[in-house]
Amino acid sequence: MSISIKLMRAVREMSPSLCIVFLLLTCGMLSAQSQAHRVRNIVLVHGAWADGSGWRGVYEILVKDGYNVSIVQEPETSFHDDVTAVKRVLALQDGPSILVAHSYGGAVITEAGTDPSVVGLVYVAAHMPDSGEKESEDGERFPSDLAKSGAIKTTPDGFTYIDPGQFHELFAADLPGDQAAFMARSQVLNFADNFSATITTAAWRTKPSWMVVAGSDRTINPDLERWYAQRAKSHTVDVAGASHSVYVSHPKEVAGVIESAARTLSK
């Protein structure tokens, strides 16, 4: 006699009260199994010339919807330091995580995302190099307005920043002027060599990925973002009219893509 038939007979022979208890226990077990498979850890990674505070709007939406959100503050002193900073935060998570990155942060999570705890990657107007590639060389495929503008300045000790007078138009055109001005004056200077770091192993080659294309991006050419996404076979969402600061100006759309990724990876 099969186990399932025995179980059915046992249930029929139970008293109504015991049957209710049995059903409640079964439902509880199924619910626990469902929770165990749910991806709830989201780790947000900023890009060059920015810090984690730009994720505030996305963070608030995700937390409200029940996700455990952590924000990495990369030092931008070296590519290795930034990858290490991401892995340090990943090590603090309980269970599988989704890595989300903006801009230069995309190269960082491409390298850091090989960590076994990472189950998916979301790129937000971000670079997505392959193994053996450099972000700087990929950018030459589809040059951006920023790259052609001369607005990227370098300090005597080799750190880069965007000319504050051109920051609004090239990095954050769809944000209010006062907000863009604050971002321009609070830039985290990025070590120039970081853009030329070579990816050793591209995490997106073995893990599902998503790309948010900023339709009016002048810092990374939107066509490069689309090219990256097509090569990686990423789930792609194009936010029309969005600047490079799409994660700040369109938090609902960006959070929606992240939550879609979490639902897909929880099945």
pLDDT at site 13: 57
What whole-number distance in Å separates Cα of residue 123 and Cα of residue 112? 13
| For residue 95, pLDDT beyond 80 | yes
What whole-number distance in Å separates Cα of residue 195 and Cα of residue 216? 22
Q: pLDDT tens digits, residue range 18-44?
A: 444 333 443 343 333 344 568 999 999
Share of the chain above pLDDT 90, in %: 85
**Tokens (6 digits) for 147:** 């790259």
Higher-confidence residue: 259 or 28? 259
Considering only CA atoms, which of 249, 141, 264, 140 is closest in space to residue 210? Answer: 264
Q: pLDDT tens digits, residue range 171-227?
A: 999 999 999 999 999 999 999 999 999 999 999 999 999 999 999 999 999 999 999
What whole-number distance in Å separates Cα of residue 236 and Cα of residue 226? 8
pLDDT at site 79: 98
Across all residues in the chain, what is the average pLDDT?
90
Q: pLDDT tens digits, residue range 63-83?
A: 999 999 999 999 999 999 999
pLDDT at site 29: 38
Considering only CA atoms, which of 218, 215, 257 is closest in space to residue 236? Answer: 257
Q: Please name every residue paired with 41 in a beta bridge, in sequence order, or none if there are none.
A: 68, 97
The conformation of residue 206, written as its DSSP 8-state character, comes to T
Task: Please give the order of strands across the beta sheet that includes 209-214.
Answer: 68-72, 41-45, 97-103, 118-126, 209-214, 235-239
In which residue are the tokens 């900073």 written? 85
Residue pair 60/89 in contact (Cβ under 8 Å)? The answer is no
pLDDT at site 267: 84
Alpha helices in the chain (DSSP H): 3-13, 16-37, 56-64, 79-90, 105-112, 135-139, 145-149, 164-171, 177-185, 222-232, 246-249, 251-265
Q: pLDDT tens digits, residue range 138-171?
A: 999 999 999 999 999 999 999 999 999 999 999 9
The conformation of residue 219, written as its DSSP 8-state character, comes to S
Contacts of 98 (CB under 8 A, 6+ apart): 39, 41, 42, 43, 118, 119, 120, 121, 122, 258, 261, 262, 265
What whole-number distance in Å separates Cα of residue 163 and Cα of residue 219? 13
| For residue 98, pLDDT beyond 60 | yes
- What are the angstrom distances between the C-alpha of 91 and each of 47, 96, 135, 191? 21, 10, 26, 25
In terms of Cβ atoms closer than 10 Å to its own Cβ (0-12, 13-18, 19+), residue 248 is buried
What whole-number distance in Å separates Cα of residue 217 and Cα of residue 52? 20
